[in-house]
Amino acid sequence: MRNNFNDSDVVGFTLNNFQTSNKSSACQDVNILGGYQIFGSNANIKKTYQLPEAHNKIIFLITVYYLDNIDNIQDNFKILLDNKEIYTSPSTAAGTRSQICGGTDDDEIQNLKFNLAHSGATLDFEFQGQINSGGDPTFGIRDINIISYKEAVYQDLEWTSDLTWNATNDSIHALKSS
């Protein structure tokens, strides 16, 4: 599943506390959900994804745009999946900043990846922003990718000999029984 946030990709998203009626903005010739003078303080984005197959793991990828001089101490965001916080932005800058889009202040683009246990037929996504520093700092998101897959999980297996084979999380270990 992938969202790149053309106008049609915003369908199904719940957007709260946006500063304008606009939902997306252009940044480096691509659309982002949120962005300059759109994603304000206490804004959040939510969507429930239907996952297509039986699985026990997911890989969740997202691109986050830090726009216009985000103050990492006062401005942060959280990512929640199924109402559980999986990430809070760090209190220090994660990378090199330069002017990319939005106003005249520096910006940063960060690609995040999470490998998680998950087996439900749906996945509830929420992106929460907290902007306290004043001025025009804002967040935007793009490229949400969800990959669901089935990872083999083995039960403990015992041999009739003096070796016991334990298999957990695709790793097999030989243990000498006493």
pTM of the model: 0.76
Between CA 163 and CA 102 the distance in angstroms is: 64
Token pair in block for residue 53: 């197959």
Q: What is the CATH number of domain 2-151?
A: 2.60.120.200
Range 147-176 average pLDDT:
52
Residues 6+ apart with CB under 8 A from 109: 63, 64, 65, 66, 100
98 exposure class (CB count in 10 Å sphere: 0-12, 13-18, 19+): exposed
**For 9-40, what is each residue's pLDDT tens digit?**
677 888 888 888 888 888 888 888 988 778 87
- The pLDDT of residue 133 is 63
Domain ranges of the chain: 2-151
Lowest mean pLDDT segment, chosen from 70-84, 126-140, 156-170: 156-170
The CA distances from residue 5 to 49, 64, 65, 86, 150, in Å, are: 15, 13, 13, 23, 28
